[in-house]
Structure 1
Amino acid sequence: MTEVIKTERTAKSGIARRNDLDWLRLIAITILLFFHTGMLFNPWDWHIKNNEISESFRYWMVWLHEWRMPLLLFISGAGTYMALGKRTSGQYARERFKRLFIPLVFGMFVVVPPQIYFEHIKEYNSYGDFYKTVFNFVPYPQGSFSWHHLWFICYLFFYSLLALPFLVFLRSERSAAFRKKVSAVLSTPAGILLVPAVFILITQVILRSYFPDETHALIDDWAYFTFYFLFFLFGMLCYSTESLWESVGANRTYLLIASVFVLIPFYATYLHLQEIIHFPWSFEKIETTFDVLAIFVSWFCVITVIAYGQHYLNKPHPWLKHFNEGLYPFYILHQTVIIAIGYYICQLPWSIFAKFWTVSLLTLISCVAFYFVLIRPFNVMRFLFGMKVKQLTVDKDR
């Protein structure tokens, strides 16, 4: 394995923790910042919108939409494999509760409500007037109770618990034969590209006929709940076996070629759905074809990014630890800050270009400042945002 960094093995049956996953997590969260800022200006429905929209935004955002969250789930799966470490199952579950469930609840009552307020700001005299409606516990959009972008944390909490038996198995010696067989199947370019993609496709063909819409509401979102869960599991599985992990990086050129080529029919069908080009097929057939291609785009792009990250980003940096410590609070805060700042910036007579970069930059600065000033120094805030609490040092001379 190239550029192996000095670190301990995460398990006898696993591979060493690699800096590339930390860098990719940073990149993925940065993509989310620009993606959610773009939601102010593209034609898709969102919480608030600029008075002028741009069709050009949809064409780069439709591609990012297919793999930005799957990439985070894949990385989270690898991280979850590592998180069990030397913990018992009970210790692991308690750690997941503190790191995921506590921030979710805190976010639903503190971080998310401002998003709903700015969406309906004209209906209330003040934020205090609005905030009372949160405690009616009427789910959004009919009411003001929601987890909005924190659906990712909710789903990740359940994924972590549901995958626990499989995780314990993977980290045991009993899994050696299983991991060897999986590695043999997935170590070729065709195997790592097609086997997971087809497996994901089969689940979606079955489930989307019953749950066609992506709601992020958990109880009626079983198709997409399963879709993201599989990326989480494949991240865990790929990270558990060194030979498989190495093969992903070694096959990066083939993965990139496949990812580029699948974009050709993906965008062709998308342009048909936008009535820019026309094929001699029905709208329903084109839409179905696009949905199938989107699944392949999701997996191909994720595994390609992982492969190139493994090859080029497996390098330590003195700031990397600090970046990654702040990423989780940044994720929790970023959409609320985008909406709060965007509400006022979108009222200015500026160009879309100026508004996009102003909102992006001010959101970045605001979230970083909030993290360093109000979250990082205080244990209570660290706990509420899912960070490790700092241990108090004792003066031994006393």
Structure 2
Amino acid sequence: MHRRYDLDWVRVCAFGVLVLYHVGMYYVTWSWHVKSPYASTTLEPLMMLSSPWRLSLLFLVSGVATAFLFGGPAGTEPDAGSKRRVLASRSWRLLVPLAFGIAVVVPPQSYYEVVEQLPGGYHAGYLAFLGKYFTGYGGFCDAEGCLLVPTWNHLWFVAYLWAYTAVLWLIWALAPRALQKLGQLLERPLSGLGALILPALLLGALRIALASRFEQTHALIDDWYSHAQYFSVFLLGLLLARAAPFWDALARLRWLALLLWLASWAGLLAYFHAYADADPPEMLRMAMRAVWGLDQWCAIVAVLGFARHWSPGDSRALRYLVPAVFPVYILHQTIIVVAAYNMKPLRLTPGVEGPLLVLMTFVLAFGLYEVIRRVRWLRPLFGLKLGRATPARLPVTSGNA
């Protein structure tokens, strides 16, 4: 069985882009936990290059990984005990780090957010803040609303990933042939140009129908637009994980997808610039939501298509990076927030401070990973197996993967 090293590399690089994106959030005008005194619109076009699609890509790749965790539509059907162990293992690997993250990793982000943004500031200190954090204090409020604590902040991805896995596990456990038949139904229309057109239409339609009705909250229970798009691509990855014609179609369509992605990105930039201070006509707003869906899916096709075409193989670097990704992801945003806030007195320009923040984030995150992977009791808190780390790669039946 061949290995999906291409998707291992995609996942590693996508999380690397996420680190860069979160450093960028410190310097743009969009709302975030702490903000640079030099925040401006300068970086926003570059941020928009990945904003519509980077998380959808990660959910799709996670769907592929989940398919092989379940055995996949073409896999051998496990017994009931094996199925229960799959969910138990997945829950352990996701929910334990999520709980630890909420309790230990995330609180410094909320603390510095309160210190910086609470009217009049917050001067009671971190320990006093923790007392309020863990008791669900509702008084951290400003003109935009109140901070809800405790919170998972950037770890919402982990909560959503577990929820989607649990839903599909239930279907797999009760009616496994339903997933198999649905995958077979989708394989043919998504093995040619439909692989580019149909998901783009779906994502555009979801944005048109839901984006204005359901603000993205990352709060799980009321985040219906997010669920619609992220669960859709997660399910698509799971259903088509072993469908070689689909992946081959992505490789053939990679250049067209790249051009459409860049064209739609340019169109979105022009639209947001033209209507920065005015409401657009409703028909134009709906059209640009469809363009957003086009951008979202074409970027994913381009990334996966080029990865499939290049077929990067295994390497020592990949074997190191694959198990490191999750711990680095858990740690990175707290490092950024704490470092950025405490570097403000240095008054460094963004051109100096930004690259330094990126370097510090990667160095500290990987340095901490080196400690975590060597301490047995720390490993489960960051999603690592108790034993020695061995990256789980994704198999595929096509010989050119």
TM bin (shorter chain): 0.7 to 0.9
2:239 is aligned to: 237
Verify the 8 A CA contact 1:124 1:130 in the aligned structure 2: no
Aligned equivalent of 2:298, options 277, 288, 300: 300
Matches of 1:224 and 1:107, distance apart in 2: 22
Verify the 8 A CA contact 2:26 2:36 in the aligned structure 1: yes
Letter in 2 for 1:32: L
Matches of 1:261 and 1:40, distance apart in 2: 27
Aligned equivalent of 2:248, options 246, 251, 257: 246
- How many angstroms does 1:178 deviate by? 4.7
Matches of 1:267 and 1:171, distance apart in 2: 44
1:149 is aligned to: 154
2:199 is equivalent to residue 201 of structure 1 = no
Aligned equivalent of 1:118, options 104, 112, 115: 112
Aligned equivalent of 1:319, options 317, 320, 326: 317
Instruction: State the identity %.
Output: 28
Structure 1 segments unaligned to the other structure (5+ residues): 1-7, 9-15, 392-398
- How many angstroms does 1:149 deviate by? 0.3
* Structure 1 residues 355 and 313: alpha-carbon distance in aligned structure 2, compared to 1, 3 A threshold: farther
Letter in 2 for 1:92: V
Matches of 2:12 and 2:176, distance apart in 1: 27
Verify the 8 A CA contact 1:50 1:347 in the aligned structure 2: no
- How many angstroms does 1:388 deviate by? 0.8
Verify the 8 A CA contact 1:25 1:72 in the aligned structure 2: yes
2:16 is aligned to: 30
Verify the 8 A CA contact 2:196 2:250 in the aligned structure 1: no
Per-residue deviation, residues 149-193 of structure 1 (Å, max 9, x unmatched): 000000000010112255569976x8666544422201112x012
* Structure 1 residues 197 and 74: alpha-carbon distance in aligned structure 2, compared to 1, 3 A threshold: same
Per-residue deviation, residues 242-293 of structure 1 (Å, max 9, x unmatched): 2222222233223223223323422221221235xx9xx9354444333321
2:72 is equivalent to residue 67 of structure 1 = no
Superposition pairs of residues 1-398 of structure 1, within 5 angstroms: 8=1, 16-85=2-71, 88-121=82-115, 122-138=121-137, 141-165=146-170, 178-189=182-193, 191-211=194-214, 213-274=215-276, 282-373=280-371, 375-390=372-387
The TM-score normalised by the length of structure 1 is: 0.86
- How many angstroms does 1:295 deviate by? 1.6
2:397 is aligned to: none
Letter in 2 for 1:231: V
Verify the 8 A CA contact 2:109 2:334 in the aligned structure 1: yes
Matches of 1:71 and 1:102, distance apart in 2: 24
Aligned residue for 1:66, secondary structure, equals coil
Matches of 1:236 and 1:298, distance apart in 2: 19
Per-residue deviation, residues 306-358 of structure 1 (Å, max 9, x unmatched): 11111114311122121110100000110000000011223322211111111
Q: State the Cα RMSD in Å.
A: 2.3
Matches of 1:377 and 1:367, distance apart in 2: 14
Per-residue deviation, residues 41-90 of structure 1 (Å, max 9, x unmatched): 11111110111123211111122111111111111111111222376321
Matches of 1:129 and 1:337, distance apart in 2: 21
The TM-score normalised by the length of structure 2 is: 0.85
- How many angstroms does 1:96 deviate by? 1.4
- How many angstroms does 1:296 deviate by? 1.5
Aligned residue for 1:37, secondary structure, equals helix
Matches of 1:243 and 1:167, distance apart in 2: 23
Matches of 1:59 and 1:169, distance apart in 2: 46
Matches of 2:207 and 2:263, distance apart in 1: 22
* Structure 1 residues 30 and 301: alpha-carbon distance in aligned structure 2, compared to 1, 3 A threshold: same
Matches of 2:311 and 2:110, distance apart in 1: 38
Aligned length: 369
1:11 is aligned to: none
Per-residue deviation, residues 359-386 of structure 1 (Å, max 9, x unmatched): 110111111111102x101221111111
- How many angstroms does 1:224 deviate by? 1.1
- How many angstroms does 1:207 deviate by? 3.3
Structure 2 segments unaligned to the other structure (5+ residues): 116-120, 141-145, 389-401
Matches of 1:354 and 1:101, distance apart in 2: 38
Bigger drift between 79-88 and 52-61 goes to 79-88
Letter in 2 for 1:62: M
* Structure 1 residues 176 and 147: alpha-carbon distance in aligned structure 2, compared to 1, 3 A threshold: closer
- How many angstroms does 1:24 deviate by? 0.7
